[in-house]
Structure 1
């Protein structure tokens, strides 16, 4: 569960000023994108392909920005359509019940900006559950099956995506 943290353009500007996205992410790239089974995907839509461990932001000109991500562990994966229902910079994090059960020593809330906060630089919460697209304090997990269902991104990539999307953005997660 994401707890509201510091938000707003001033804070995001400060994050950018200290270099969180000053250098382009080497793994982020523009690629050809053809919807396939996702006929009618509109520009600005996010498509997460779990099996590829990639997130695509559809540009609408036959291309998308492709980001490497970490996705749910086996048994924690999901698919479906949702939308972004909140955007937060350095959010506090309250472990969901299942995470707390598996890791009882976790505190009830980890402050935003803490090195032990798994949400990283920013988070975009997804409607209908406890999932989010967020940064990570474990960049070595990117490209793996590592989470309880959230979509993890490199911090510089989540800041880039955060700037490009808004609340209400459609998100499709496929297996």
Structure 2
């Protein structure tokens, strides 16, 4: 009887502890986020944004599915069965690597053979809307990703206007938001007409109204900042300007 009481008490304690676990503590540490709005892919490892890479997505909005999926298979030099073109052949549109996604509802094929992140033999298409649903990458980039992404990691696909740090927080990726000198950072290029959380971060850093819209006031502030740092004052917030802003 005494043993039963001890086991029961331990069970209650375990349940209480699980209820006390914060969402951040249970957050994912590795993930891929693909944003169709700017055709970029972000890879998070150990809760940290490691790299942002350009991609190509579906010719129309509905071709590349949106949601949370899993990476379920990885193939080097996958053949293109539709045209019977072997892997590694320069004519093969799947490029050097294939990372298959489990997408429920793809006509019952959930083994990662229908939708995937893959290389390409048409590098000029990267950054555009060109595929029949898959996500294309430069071959060198997909090889880099293939070597780092583990099976069953979550793959999020969206067309939101939010920055990757904001999306990563939304999806529960640990340490998604980095703070430098009191401000979050961002890893996307911004220019006149850009909108979203990344623009707000930029505006806060420049001490101007943070409305999330890159308009005349933001353009003027960016050019002024670029001139002060000896940069080309083109008003485009690229890698050099971000480094000057955040020291990284």
Q: TM-score, normalised by structure 2?
A: 0.47
Distance 1:123 1:144 in 2: 19
Q: Secondary structure at the match of 2:55?
A: strand
Q: Give the one of 123, 137, 147 matched to 1:153.
A: 137
Q: Which consecutive segments of 4 or more residues in structure 1 shift more than 2 A?
A: 40-43, 59-64
**Cα displacement string for residues 18-62 of structure 1 (whole angstroms, at most 9, x for unaligned residues):** xxxxxxxxxxxxxxxxxxxxxx86222000001110000013455
Q: What secondary structure, in the 3-state scheme, does the structure 1 residue paired with 2:144 have?
A: helix
Structure 1: gaps (5+ residues)? 1-39, 96-106
Aligned residue number for residue 183 of structure 2: none
Q: Which residue matches 1:138?
A: 122
1:62–1:68: structure 2 CA closer, same or farther, 3 Å change rule?
Answer: same
Which structure has the highest helix share of the two? 2
Residues in 2 aligned to 1:64 and 1:72: alpha-carbon distance in whole angstroms: 25
Assess if the C-alpha contact under 8 Å between 2:36 and 2:157 holds in 1: yes
CA distance, structure 2, for counterparts of residue 46 and residue 61 of structure 1:
11
Question: Relative CO higher for 1 or 2, CA cutoff 8 Å, sep ≥ 6?
Answer: 1
Pick from 70, 74, 95 the counterpart of residue 120 of structure 1: 95
Give the secondary structure class of the aligned counterpart of 1:92: coil
Contact 2:71/2:152 (CA < 8 Å) preserved in 1? yes
For 2:87 and 2:115, how far apart are their aligned partners in 1?
17
Are 2:36 and 1:50 equivalent residues in the alignment?
yes
Distance 2:139 2:43 in 1: 16
CA distance in 2, matches of 1:111, 1:71: 23
d(CA) in 2 for partners of 1:126, 1:167: 10
Scaled by the length of structure 1, the TM-score of the pair is 0.66
Between structures 1 and 2, the one with greater strand share? 1
Cα gap change, 1:117 to 1:126, in 2 (>3 Å): same
Deviation at 1:164, TM superposition (A): 0.5
Q: Which whole-Å deviations, capped at 9, do the CAs of 1:131-158 have from their partners, x for residues lacking one? A: 1000000000000000011010000000
How well do the aligned residues superpose, as a CA RMSD in angstroms?
1.6
Looking at structure 1, the residues matched to 132 and 118 of structure 2 have their Cα atoms a distance apart, in angstroms, of 13
Q: Radius of gyration: which is bigger?
A: 2
Q: Find the aligned partners of 1:135 and 1:79 in 2 and give their Cα distance.
A: 20
**3-state DSSP of counterpart to 1:58:** strand
**Structure 1 position 85 matched with structure 2 position 69:** no
Q: Figure out how many residues of one structure are paired with residues of the other and give that number.
A: 124
